[in-house]
Amino acid sequence: MNHWIGAPIDRADGILKVTGEASYAADFNFENLIYGIPILSTCAKGKVVKIDDSDALKIPGVLTILTSQNTPEFFPAKSDFGTASQMGEIRLPLQDETIHYAGQYLGVVLAETLESAEEAEKLVKVLVEEEPPILEMEKNLSQAYSPKAFFGEPLPVIRGNFEKAFSEAEIKLEEIYTTPVEHHNPMEPHASIAVWDGENLTLYESTQWVVGARNVVADALKLPREKVKIISWFVGGGFGCKGFIWPHTLLSSLAAMQMKRPVKVLLSRRHLFTTVGHRPATCQKLTLGASRSGKISALKHHTITHTSFVGEFLEGSGGASQNLYDFPNLQVIYQVVRLNKGTPTFMRAPGESTGLFALESLLDELSYKLKIDPIELRLKNYAERHPETGLPWSSSNLKECLQIGAEKFGWKNRNPDPGSMKQGNLSLGWGMAVSMFPGFRSPGSARVKILPDNTARVESATQDMGTGTYTTMKQIAAEILSLPPEKINSFLGDSSYPAAPISGGSMTSASVGPAVEAAAKKALQHLIDTAIKDKASLFYRCSPDDLQAKNGNLIFKTDPSKAETFGEILLRNNLPFLEGEAFIKPDQPDKKYAFQSHGAQFAEVLVDPYLKTIRLNRMVGIFDVGKILNLKTARSQAIGGMIMGIGMALYEKTVYDLTTGRVVNDNLSDYLIPVMADIPSIDVEFIDKPDPYFNSLGVRGLGEIGITGTAAAIANAVYHATGIRIRDLPITLEKLL
C-alpha cells in the first residue's frame, strides 16, 4: 500500500493561512474583552521601591493595574518535564519587589481598549533602588557554577583519559569559539486570552505545548487540571520560545479570574526580547589531540554559558562532541554564570547548533593543519557505534549523506587553498560541515474517529507550529484507513484531546505519529468488528483477516468487488462514529540501539575582496532522518532550518547595553535575520530510509537538524574564500576588514 505516507501533498492549513482564515491566538475576540499590557522593568537589577500609577489610572478606559502590591498569590507549579509542567522562568510573576533583569514584568495594565492600556503603561512611574547589573559572563567567571547533570545525565562527561591521550598526541589544537545571545523571533508574537466562566478557564494561547500550559496554569492557580483548557490551533512559529510557559500566560489567567471578564494579553516585538527566553551566549574552548593521519584521540569541550537568577537552563553545546564522532578520550565540561538577563530557553537545536559550530569549525582547522580533505577527516573519525553508550546505531547513514552531498555540490572540484577560487572579482569559498540531532521520543496519544459521511478525524493534543503536523497526521490515518487525505481532518492544539508531548526536541512525528497509526488501526478494527457482527452486512460472520479497507470501503481481500462503504456500516448500526484511541510509549528499558539523525551541509559563499561583504551563492543539505512523512513539508522544514542557520552564521546577535542591561536591538529592523535576497538556492535531499527500531513508522523527526552544521559550513566556506578564520558568530564584514 504505502501510498499516502511520504506523499508530497499540500499543507492541510495552507489555504486557511494565506486567506487569513486561520485563527491565531490573538485573533480570538470576546464580548466584554479586557486588554492587558505588561509593565516592563527598565532596570536590570534592584528593588522596586514604589509604583506610582496615579497618572496611568486617569487614562479613560483603564480599569486597574496589577502589581506586586495587589496581585494575589500564585502557587509554585512543578517545573519538570516528566510531569508535563515546565515554566520558562521559575519565579512567579508579581509576587515580590526584586528585579532580576531588564524587561521583567512589574505589573500589568488592564483596560477597555488596547490603546488605553498602551498609553497608561507608559505613564506608570516605577521608583527603583538600582544596583549595578551582572551582564558579562567572561567577567564573572568566579561566580560560575558547574552543573551536576543535564537531563538526568551526570556532568561533567569523562570518557577514557583525555589528559594522557592529549599529552601523547602528535598534533594539538586549541581554539575558542563564541556565539552570541540570539532571540527566536517567530513571526507571530505570543498572545494569551483567558476566559473564565466562574469554574472553567479557557486559554487561547500561542504555545508549543498545550498540555504543559494547561498543567502549569492549573497548578499555579490551584485549579483542578480538568478545569483548564488550552486552545492553540495555529502557531506562527515557535522555535522554542513558546515551549515552556512564560509569565504573560499566568497574568492573563489571573486577571480574567479577578475581573470576571475575558482578558487578552498581547506581547509586542519588544516583549519578545525579554521574558520569553533566548539562546544564551556560549564561549567554547575546544582542545584536541590527533594523530598525523587525522584520527582524533583526545577532545575537551569546555563551554561557558549563562542562565538567569530566576531560572535554570543549560545550553548543552558539548553534546555534539559527545555523540557524533568516535572520540575515545573526551571531557565535556560546563560552567554557567548567572546574569541579570531573562531566562534562556531552548532555541532550535539547543546545544547542537552552537556546539557543532565549534566542533565542525575545529575539524576544518584540523583538516588544513593536516592537509586532509575535510570529508575524509570526518570519515576517519566516524563512529561505528554510538560513542557515548556503545550501542549500535539503529540506522546511521552519515556516510551516504556525505557522499551524496559531495557529489551534488561538486566537492571534488574544490581547490582547498584559501583564496584560490574566484568568481569574477569575488573570492569563492566552499565549506562543509556535518549536521546531527539525537532521536528523541516521548509518550504520545491520539484518537481517530471514522464518521458516517465516509470521512475521519484525527484528534491529539499536539500542535502544528507551521511544521506540517496537521498534514502529516492525516496522511498516517489515511494510510491505515485507506481514505484519501482530503477525507480526513486533523484536530490539534486543544488540551482536551488525548495528551501529546511538547512540540520540541524534533519529536512530534516520532511520538504522535505512531499513536495516530495505532489509533487508526483500532478504529478500523472496530469497524471490521461491527461489520462482521452485522447481519445485514456482506461481511457478516467473516473472518477479520479476510477483510481490508480500500478507498473508503471495506472489501474482501480476495474479491474487491464485494464492498461496503464505512458510512453504510456506521449508519446501519446507528453509530455516530467509531473510534480508536492509542497511547504509545517508547520502550525505554531495553535500550538496544542508539537513535540519531545525521546530515551533511555544503555552502558556497562569495566574498568581496575589498568591501568584505559575504553573500551565499548556494547550499546543499542531505539529511538522514528516517522515513519521510511528507516530502514537501519535510523539505520546507529542512530549508527553514538551514535558513535559520544562515541567520545564525551571518546576522543574528542580540546586543545588550552593558550599563543598563537593556536590549539595544529589540526590533526586527536592528535584530537582523536573513531576508529573501540573502537566501541562495538551497538543494535538500533526504536519505528516506525508515529507522527500523525507533517506532512503528520509522520516523525520527526533522525540526531541528536543518540548523545544525549550517553556521560551521558557512564559516568554513568564508575561511576557504578569505584565509580568515572567524570563530565568533555572527560572521560580519567588519571581522574580515
Which residues in this chain contact other proteins in the complex, by CB under 8 A?
42, 115, 118-119, 122, 610-613, 615, 650-651, 655, 657-660, 662, 664-665, 669-670, 672, 674-675, 677-678, 732-734, 737
Q: Cα separations (Å) of 620 from 209, 509, 602, 725?
A: 32, 24, 5, 22
Alpha-carbon torsion, ordered 284, 289, 295, 301, to 10 deg: -20
Q: Under DSSP, is residue 117 helix (H, G, I), strand (E, B) or coil?
A: helix
Q: How far is the CB of 726 from other proteins (least distance, A)?
A: 14
Pairing of strands 171-179, 282-290: antiparallel
736 Cα distance to chain centroid = 32
**CA dist., res. 147 & res. 145, Å (int):** 6
Pairing of strands 426-438, 444-450: unpaired
The closest alpha carbon to 135, from 308, 290, 352, belongs to: 308
- Return the HEC string of 494-535: ECCCCECCCCCCCCHHHHHHHHHHHHHHHHHHHHHHHHHCCC
Q: How far is the CB of 669 from other proteins (least distance, A)?
A: 7
Q: Please check whether residue 524 is in contact with residue 549, taking contact to mean a CB–CB distance below 8 angstroms.
A: yes
Q: Please check whether residue 86 is in contact with residue 212, taking contact to mean a CB–CB distance below 8 angstroms.
A: yes
What strand order describes the sheet that includes 125-130?
98-99, 46-52, 125-130
Neighbours of 3 (CB within 10 A): 11
The closest alpha carbon to 285, from 304, 265, 312, 266, belongs to: 304
**CA dist., res. 632 & res. 63, Å (int):** 49
Q: Please check whether residue 39 is in contact with residue 117, taking contact to mean a CB–CB distance below 8 angstroms.
A: no
- Does 517 participate in catalysis according to the annotation? no
Q: Please check whether residue 158 is in contact with residue 298, taking contact to mean a CB–CB distance below 8 angstroms.
A: no
The residue type found at 277 is: G
The active-site residue, picked from 188, 652, 704, 734, is 704
DSSP state, residue 11: P
Q: Please check whether residue 195 is in contact with residue 257, taking contact to mean a CB–CB distance below 8 angstroms.
A: no
Q: How far is the CB of 391 from other proteins (least distance, A)?
A: 44
Per the listing, cell 538526568 goes with 152
**CA dist., res. 570 & res. 452, Å (int):** 6
554 Cα distance to chain centroid = 40
Q: How far is the CB of 657 from other proteins (least distance, A)?
A: 5
- 187 or 675: whose CB is closer to other proteins? 675
Report the chain's C-alpha Rg in angstroms.
27
Q: Please check whether residue 342 is in contact with residue 247, taking contact to mean a CB–CB distance below 8 angstroms.
A: no
CA atoms within 13 A on the CB side of 701: 27
Q: How far is the CB of 712 from other proteins (least distance, A)?
A: 19
Burial class (CB in 10 A: 0-12, 13-18, 19+), 541: exposed
**CA dist., res. 540 & res. 385, Å (int):** 53
Q: Under DSSP, is residue 376 helix (H, G, I), strand (E, B) or coil?
A: helix
The closest alpha carbon to 671, from 658, 656, 653, belongs to: 653
Q: Please check whether residue 183 is in contact with residue 654, taking contact to mean a CB–CB distance below 8 angstroms.
A: yes
Q: How far is the CB of 642 from other proteins (least distance, A)?
A: 17
Q: How far is the CB of 636 from other proteins (least distance, A)?
A: 22
Q: Please check whether residue 39 is in contact with residue 497, taking contact to mean a CB–CB distance below 8 angstroms.
A: no
- 114 or 575: whose CB is closer to other proteins? 114
* DSSP-assigned letters across all residues of 545-604: GGEEEETTEEEESS-TTSEEEHHHHHHHTT-S-EEEEEEE----SS---B-EEEEEEEEE
Cell of 659: 550599563
Alpha-carbon torsion, ordered 202, 207, 210, 215, to 10 deg: -80
Cell of 219: 497548578
**CA dist., res. 284 & res. 174, Å (int):** 10
Per the listing, cell 484518537 goes with 447
Catalytic residues: 704
